[in-house]
Amino acid sequence: MILFNRPPRTGNEDGYVREALLRDKLSGDSHFSNLCQNWFNTKLSAKTLLTPSCTAALEMAALLINAGPGDEIIMPSYTFVSTANAFALRGAKIVFVDIRPDTMNIDETLIEAAITNRTRAIVPVHYAGVGCEMDAIMGLAEKYGLFVIEDAAQAMLSNYNGRPLGSFGHLAAFSFHETKNFTSGGEGGLLIINDARLVERAEVIREKGTNRSQFFRGQVDKYTWVDVGSSYLPSELQAAYLWGQLQKADELQSARLDHWTQYYKGLKDFAAIETPTVPDNCSHNAHMFYIKVGNLKQRTELIEKLKSDFGVMAVFHYVPLHNAPGGLLHARFHGKDRYTTRESERLLRLPMWHGLQLGQIEYIVDSVKSVMRAICETEESLLSAR
């Protein structure tokens, strides 16, 4: 069986994890946490804070913008539940906007019509590591005095117009879950703070609402409770594992891009499916390779046949949040759902992980073609019989 995912592991992580175990401190913001944060500070030219998950980073962002009852937060419905939950937890109303069918990202041309006097923030989600149209989104934010929080969970080391994703919004969140390009041992996240006004409070919120970070820097003689907050620090073991991955970042990225390119070359001219679209002004990180088939029925059959007949695990992705019970309680969809549901039902993710062999990708490509040919032939036969 060719698995859909395996957590990335280079072997480089082991020594750093052992070193962390031998140090005197395993709690957050110690040696390896600082190494990782400095690495990201340099890459993103921003203040960064490691978190236990991307969910935690998004929750911190919601606290930092003081989202609350009466506020509205604009985002796509085609995203992971954490994107919405972070703001719903504060009592804000989620306003979903339709996506573009080419990139699966929020349609930037529909955002302005969804803005009201209650709108507090726009949360673009960079699907598959391909950037949303951030120039247009930041322009709207400036025009209406809104915050922008980039959900860049899938977009580490991707770029838009030559700039790193995560560097545009006032805040951004990355994920180091085991399905991502880099992991901090299965779970993990990063908050990016591009607005200097939010840095000090971000440290307080992350340290249970205390000014503990200032205390350790010698800026105050004791620390105390000063604001709301929670425990948003990962352990040193997580940071050590991540540091091992970051030392091999170029290797991990190069292999993943090779895998993506091989999939693309093998499937781009196969008429029965669609392959991903990457706009010219974007460079992606090969976070995933997905295809689109004709409809939900075809996708269901393709998933089943790949597994049963070829031993290939492929999966669909998000069920749009506005169709979920939680979406009915905490959100509304602005305008028409022209593409979100339809395109989500067509999308299928193929195996993508560090260590996947090129021969395995060739086999997966051939398997997809074989199943889809059979599906299309059956459909044509049924149509001819009518």
Domain layout of the chain by residue ranges: 13-246, 249-385
CA angle 72, 228, 92 (to 5 degrees): 10
Q: For 13-246, CATH number?
A: 3.40.640.10
Question: For residues 260 and 350, what is the distance between their CA atoms, to the nearest angstrom?
Answer: 10
Category of 45 on φ-ψ map: left (φ > 0), alpha (ψ -120 to 50) or beta: left
Low-confidence ranges of the chain (pLDDT < 50): none
249-385, CATH topology level: Aspartate Aminotransferase, domain 1 (3.90.1150)
Q: 176: how many CB neighbours lie within 10 A of its CB?
A: 31
Is-contact 348 303, C-beta < 8 A? yes
**131: its two tokens:** 């950037």
Angle between helices 54-64 and 199-206 (to 10 degrees): 120
**The tokens of 314 are what?**
């492929």
Distance CA 384, CA 316 (A): 30
d(CA 12, CA 15): 7
SS3 132: coil
Same fold, 13-246 and 249-385: no
Whether the model clears a pTM of 0.85, i.e. scores above it, the answer is yes
Residue 124 dihedral angles phi and psi, to the nearest 5°: -75, 140
Which helix (H) or strand (E) is 167 found in, with range?
A: none
Distance between CA atoms of residues 181 and 253, nearest Å: 7
Contact status, residue 19 vs residue 161, Cβ threshold 8 Å: no
What contacts 361, CB < 8 A, 6 or more positions away?
A: 259, 262, 263, 266
Give the Cα separation of 225 and 169 in Å (integer).
29
Distance CA 282, CA 155 (A): 11
- Residues with Cβ within 8 Å of 46's Cβ and at least 6 positions away in sequence, in order, are 40, 166, 167, 192, 193, 194
Distance CA 244, CA 14 (A): 8
Q: How far apart are CA 320 and CA 136, in angstroms?
A: 24
- In angstroms, rounded to a whole number, what is the distance separating the alpha carbons of residues 243 and 158? 19
Q: Note whether 179 and 5 are within 8 A (CB).
A: yes
